[in-house]
Amino acid sequence: MRLNQLILLLAIVAIAACTQKQKEAPAEQATLSGLKKSDFQSVVNGDSTNLYVLTNANGVEVVLTNYGGRIVSVMVPDRDGNMKDVVLGFNNVDDYVNVNNNFGATIGRYGNRIANGKIMVEGVEYQLPQNNFGHTLHGGPEGFDKKVFKAEQINNQTVVFSYLSKDGEANFPGNLDMKVTMTLTDDNAIDLQYEATTDKETVVNLTNHSYFNLSGDGNNTILNDSLTIHADAFTPVDDTFMTTGEISPVEGTPMDFRTPAAIGARINDYDYAQLKNGDGYDHNWVLNTKGDVTQVAATVYSPATGIVLDVYTDEPGVQVYTGNFLDGTVTGKNGAVYAKRNAICLETQKYPDSPNKADWPSPYLKPGEKYTSRCIYKFSVR
């Protein structure tokens, strides 16, 4: 046999072997929510992104990505035992990167708004990037939601995301070394535990920005869902969504959710200035729980599925946002179109603009101190 014939024969054998291996290789296993790891494996700003899957003994599944330290999907049973994905998001990391959003993200360095983007730290005024009616919202246009976190999957139920926000990032002072431990518990809760330290005094207010829809379908409104907030007061806002500095009673107002009420029952009462200013609910409630993480701070219930979400926190406040800026231009998982008021966010936090309101719970962190914050999203059925 001539040499070139031998080479050709060997090439044919190699191709055949490769084709057979491809046939034998199993198709990529999707998560329970239909997500594929390969759709989240990319490189963003030089750092690798990936998908992480948590499961518990009850078959509940929580899927995370280290791009923005995000909750991507949450599969929980409804009253009939059917599994439902109860958070909004995307099928791939490219959409998270390219579509302006904070679905499921870890928010920092400062969650919520800072007036005019100005903070005073150790007698020095810092001007932060302004990205919301002249204010700084969620750490500015390049907040933690756009960062790639380091990720360590401890076991099937826990992932630790960590990030070093360098001194001067978004003009915040101090190297802030933070991490959030996300654990899926056996009682069907997502336990979020934040920690941070700094080498220079700074401000910090970390939270999670999951958009919940307990119907399991992002096409559906949340207006028929029931909401309870254990708070006698809230912090009013002006027409730029900035807190005024007041703490006002909920008594006799559409802000009173101390007993369960449909989210949509009063949301369009724009004769009430606060609903007009917020274009619905986009406000911080002053919780009665006083930092006791064992007490329920807020509850959402879907009569359609029977799914209940209880929120626990050691923070003094919770921002309740009813998806007022969703406008139907974004298509998410499974082709769902995310329209106005198709989701609710419950962001546990210090009150908005606390750096500029000295009598509110302090967001300041000094060297040698440790910032901690905890939020638990617990699911059950009625």
Element (H, E) at 119: strand 118-121
Q: Is the pLDDT of residue 182 over 60?
A: yes
Average model confidence (pLDDT) for the chain?
95
Residue 361 identity (one-letter amino acid): P
What is the C-alpha to C-alpha distance for residues 35 and 324, in angstroms, rounded to an integer? 27
Confidence band, pLDDT 50/70/90 cuts, at residue 20? low
pLDDT at 18 over 60: no
**pLDDT at residue 81, as a whole number:** 98
CA 165 to mean position of chain CA atoms: 18
Place of tokens 């084709």: 19
Which whole number is the average pLDDT over 200-218? Answer: 98
Q: Is residue 19 part of a domain?
A: no
Residue 32 sits at φ, ψ, to 5 deg, of -55, -30
* Residues designated catalytic: 209, 347
Q: How far apart are CA 196 and CA 372, in angstroms?
A: 7
Report yes or no on 328 lying in a domain.
yes
Residue 2 counted as domain residue: no
Whether 21 is covered by a domain: the verdict is: no
Q: Looking at residue 160, which CATH number applies to its domain? A: 2.70.98.10
Q: Among residues of the chain, what percentage have pLDDT more than 70? A: 93
pLDDT the model gives residue 285 = 99
Confidence of residue 17 (pLDDT cuts 50, 70, 90): low
Q: Are 184 and 55 in contact (CB under 8 A)?
A: yes
- CB distance 89 to 67 below 8 Å: no
pLDDT level of residue 19 (50, 70, 90 thresholds) = low
In a domain, 196, yes or no: yes
Confidence of residue 27 (pLDDT cuts 50, 70, 90): confident
Q: What is the pLDDT of residues 76-89, one digit of tens each?
A: 999 999 999 999 99
Q: Report angle CA 235, 241, 242 to the nearest 5 degrees.
A: 60
In this prediction the pTM is: 0.93
Share of the chain above pLDDT 90, in %: 93
CA distances from 190 to 55, 183, 233, 310 (A): 11, 6, 27, 11
pLDDT at residue 2 greater than cutoff 90: no
With a CB cutoff of 8 Å and minimum separation 6, the contacts of 346 are: 212, 298, 300, 309, 311, 318, 319, 320, 377
Residue 6 belongs to a domain: no
pLDDT of residue 12: 59
pLDDT band, residue 7 (cuts 50/70/90): low
Structure confidence at residue 124 (pLDDT): 98
Q: Is the pLDDT of residue 4 over 70?
A: no
pLDDT tens string 38-60: 999 999 999 999 999 999 999 99
Residue 371 has pLDDT above 70, yes or no: yes
Q: What is the pLDDT of residue 126?
A: 98
Best CA proximity match to 174, nearest among 114, 108, 117 = 108
**What domain range is 81 assigned to?**
43-381
- What is the rounded CA–CA span in Å between residue 87 and residue 83? 13
The domain tally of the chain equals: 1
Q: Is residue 16 part of a domain?
A: no
Mean pLDDT of 300-314: 99
- Asked if residue 28 is part of any domain, the answer here is no
Q: pLDDT at position 5, please?
A: 59
Looking up tokens 């879907």 gives 302
